Structure 1
């Protein structure tokens, strides 16, 4: 198919959502009753275009002149290849299901036209990133994704926390975007282009240190957009937006943009840059998993889980296998979107018609025993949770094991110390199984704790909500990605990983780790009082704030202050125990040394001077006693001198 044939699909893919945004935005509240179906129809049309024009065997590029600066021509480059086809399908498919789900979940909202308009704007921005053939074009749509994310998080702008969460997401993403832009400018300075095809040929002449710096700057964009340490704080609070928004942009698509970026620039990442990427990804992976273990909000647990899984994808890129990262991105998009939509179904089921004092419909401690009241939601949630936990026969098992395998193959090249990273990946997988078991139990098993609130009547969601959940749950099984339930198969080969290696012991170790973690979670959650962690047990424990506790404080009052407060506290202790102690030591030492010098000066220096003066004075006294003016004294002196002279002559 000629390159010009892709002008039409490019215009349709970008034009349909943008036209939908303008139509719904300008149409006003009069379109509220049809806004969801209009948005879903446009997205379905985009999905059809993506599938019709999918060419898995070739790469097609489009170039349009945009501006000429001196002798430099800046082009808008669009790219259709295998990775583009996959991402277009995932983005459109998840967006379609989310919009269908939202027609029921958001029913009755007075600003539905605005909600679905913002989703279309987000879809336009995300598709632009996927179609980008150069970093300049990607950066333009990258910023538009940040804008649409801000608008969706703050959709309920009358809620102060929603506005704060949107501002936080916007600010932290801008920090990462500044690094991203710096990398783009450096790359343009050294190669004269940001087109992926051009820079892949030009970077061979660059100094490795410069290339490492450029790669890390570009990685900064991923750190912000994909919520990596230390810019991961915006993701949990982004749950303040509507739950379908969480499923769309904060679980399946927007946060995946950073991983997509890394897949596009994987060819310019040096070993040193990959090592930094592994370190950042590992910290994020473990931090997210540990925080998920301690969370009680049903959506916040999933948000921390998203942080952890994104860290795992980043680690996979650091291992030099962007294919396995994209593999996990795809499986994660389905089962995590299913989890968020199922969580929304639970929240929808237990939310009373009128607010009830002391009842939080998102707190898992107010749930329990919901599997009978919500049988379909329970099955969908359990299937997607099993996929996230990495149980066999589910897609998450395949993609996680593929990453672990690549990790051990990577470690073989760099020595014994490198094995710590794939081992930590296995440990993180165990934590994932632990907190998902905890969440499923607290929500669907045990005592019905919501019955203490008479106005709460749990009920199953309508079909338009549970059908998307069921479809996502069905896509969480292994069969869609491999014919072998215990090894990654055709999907990885389709992505281009021709030399995929299967280590037979890894599925066994991963499965045993998952099972042990599930048993530990079951033992703890059934033995402990789920309400026992409402507050620290003692005042001393309440005052104790470690670095981890400080960094996990995502409240609107403390999020930005807490890290600086922790640093200030540690500096205060350093000043008191270190600097002040050193100054005191120096001061006391100076006093002791001064006393020693004073003693030396008094008895040695002054003593020597006094002794010299006394000796001279005594000599003077002797000389003066001889020169006394008496003749007999002179005779005695003369006789004594003559005697001594004769004695000297005799002896000599």
Structure 2
């Protein structure tokens, strides 16, 4: 296929969603009804275009001159390769299902045109990142993804927490983006280009320390977008947006951008940079997994889970295996999107028929026993949970196993201390199985705690909601990625991304499965306790009416946590300002006054005095000479005679 064809492909993939954005946004509420179908149709065209122009054998590039700065030519560059193909299909497919799902989930919303317009802007931005042929083009679309996420998270702008969450995501991402931009500027300075092909052949000219700094700066962009420690705080709060938005952000678009970036720049990462990246990923993975065991909001559990899984992908990149990281990104996209859409189905099912301020439809403590009323949602949720937990015969098992195997191979080369990474990955996988079992039990099993709320009547979601869920659940089974349910090296994915030397350790699947099964057993053992998972915070089971207060308490605890956190930071900053900043400013002001007086004295007595002395000297000399110029002839004779005498004396002395 000619290069011209790929120019057409890039134009379609980028042009259609941005055109749809303007049409839906400017069309107003008149387009509320067809907005979902328009968005889904445009996304389907993008998916078909991605598949039709797929060519994994050859690298195709599309370049256009943009600007000339001095001797540096800035190009708009786009590329099509195997990474592009994988990401284009995942992004378009998940976005298509999310939009189909959203038409029912947000049915009746007065701003559907704006919602689907923002999704198209999001899709345009993400496709731009995937197609980018250089880091500068990627950065342009990188910032547009940040804008899109801000708009979608804060879609319900009349809710203060949604606005706050959007602002938090925007600000924290800007911090990471500043580091990303610094890395791009350093590449411009040292190499003069950010084109991936040119960088691959030019980085040998850089000193290792400079290259490590550039790699870590570029990783800063990943820390923001993919919610890595310490910039991970925005991700759980992004749940304030509509649930389909959470599925889109967590599965295929925003958070995946950071991992995709690392895959693109893997050749830039020095061993020192990789160690730092692996450590950051480990911290993020552990924090996310532990936090997921402590929260009660159905979506926040999944949000912390995403944070943990992203940490796992970052670890894989840090251990030099970006291919297994991308493999886990692909499997995670399907089962995590399925989990979020299933969570949305649960929220939709238990939302009260009448306004009830005491009921929180996202608090798992007010659920239980929903399996009977939501059979399809239950099956989809269990399948996707099994994939996330890493149980055999599911896709998540294959991708996690691949990362663990690569971690053990890496540890063999680096000594005993390096075994910390594969061990902590396996322990974290066990924690994942624990909190997903906890979530399944709290939602679908046990007693029906929602029955004390008379306005709650659980019911299964319509086919436009459970259809996408069922498809994503089906894609979470191992068969789509490998014929062997215990070994990903037999699968097409790793072969597609060029992992020819991928190995396998026979005992790893059994050890990983053992840890997972043990964690599930411990979780089910906890369900037999008098107060399972400390649902009632120390109260007896007879105090179940207190569930009516849990929604308010849960909201209070979240608000209290964040308010206290920010109040503590604010108090510290206030003390810093009062004792350090103000003292510094006051000291500068006082010394400025002192110096002003010193300079004033110097100006009066030295500068002005010098000028006055010079004037006085010249004036006195002038007056003395003027006395001789009095117009009397005898005075002139006297001066002449005196001059002759002095001249004779001077000649005699010589």
With normalisation by structure 2, the TM-score equals 0.83
Which residue number corresponds to residue 543 of structure 1? none
Report the counterpart of residue 580 of structure 2 in structure 1: none
Shift in Å at residue 28 of structure 1? 0.3
**TM-superposed deviation, 1:491:** 1.5
Q: Which has the larger radius of gyration?
A: 1
Partner of 1:602: none
- The 1:532/1:426 distance shift into structure 2, 3 A limit, reads closer
In the alignment, what sits opposite 2:371?
371
Provide, for residues 573-602 of structure 1, a one-character-per-residue CA deviation record: whole Å limited to 9, x for no partner: xxxxxxxxxxxxxxxxxxxxxxxxxxxxxx
The 1-side partners of 2:379 and 2:569 are apart by 41
Distance apart, 1:371 and its partner CA:
0.5
Post-superposition shift, 1:536?
8.1
Asked if 1 retains the 8 angstrom alpha-carbon contact of 2:299 and 2:343, the reply is yes
Match of 1:633 in 2: none
Contact 1:299 1:343 in 2 (8 A): yes
Q: 1:490 to 1:528 in 2, by over 3 A?
A: farther
Partner Cα separation in structure 2 for residue 531 and residue 354 of structure 1: 30
Q: How does 1:91-490 map to 2 (within 5 A)?
A: 91-488=91-488, 489-490=491-492
Aligned Cα root-mean-square deviation (Å): 1.7
Return the alpha-carbon distance in structure 2 between the equivalents of residues 568 and 329 of structure 1.
Answer: 42
Aligned to 2:70: 70
Shift of 1:70: 1.1
The two structures have a TM-score, normalised by structure 1, of 0.83
Change (3 A) 1:552 1:405: farther
Query: 2:153–2:242: 8 Å Cα contact kept in structure 1?
Result: yes
- The alignment status of 1:557 with 2:563, answered yes or no, reads yes
For residue 514 of structure 1, the aligned residue among 513, 516, 519 is: 516
SS, match of residue 171 in structure 1: helix
- Aligned partner of residue 61 in structure 1, secondary structure: strand
The gaps in structure 2 that reach 5 residues or longer are 540-556, 576-654
Partners of 2:310 and 2:560 in 1: CA distance: 19
Matches within 5 A, 1:547-626: 555-562=561-568
Q: Distance in 2 between matches of 1:377 and 1:400?
A: 25
CA distance in 1, matches of 2:85, 2:398: 21
2:503 aligned residue (494, 501, 504):
501
> How far apart are 1:210 and its partner, in Å?
0.5
The 8 Å contact of residues 553 and 559 in structure 1, kept in 2 or not, is answered as no
Q: Distance in 1 between matches of 2:570 and 2:181?
A: 27
Conserved 8 A contact 2:251-2:334? no
1:252–1:336 CA contact under 8 A, matched in 2: no
Closer/same/farther in 2, CA of residues 562 and 56 from structure 1, 3 Å limit? farther
CA positional deviation for 1:357: 3.0
Displacement over 2 Å in runs of 4+: 530-537, 551-569
CA distance change for structure 1 residues 555 and 26 in 2, over 3 Å: closer, same or farther? farther
Contact 2:292 2:435 in 1 (8 A): yes
Q: Deviations over 1:405-448 (max 9, x none)?
A: 00011111111001001100000000000000000000000000
5+ residue gaps, structure 1: 538-550, 570-652
State the secondary structure of the residue aligned to 1:64.
Answer: strand
Give the deviation of 1:252 after TM superposition.
2.8
Structure-2 residue corresponding to 1:649: none
Q: In the TM superposition, what whole-angstrom CA distance separates every residue of 1:465-523 from its partner, at most 9, and x where no partner exists?
A: 00000000000000000000000022111111000101000000000000000000111
Change (3 A) 1:312 1:107: same
The number of residue pairs the alignment matches comes to 556
* Aligned residues of 1:368 and 1:445 also touching (Cα < 8 A): yes
CA offsets, 1:316-336, max 9 Å, x none? 000100000000000000000
Aligned counterpart, 2:640 = none
Q: Secondary structure at the match of 1:230?
A: coil
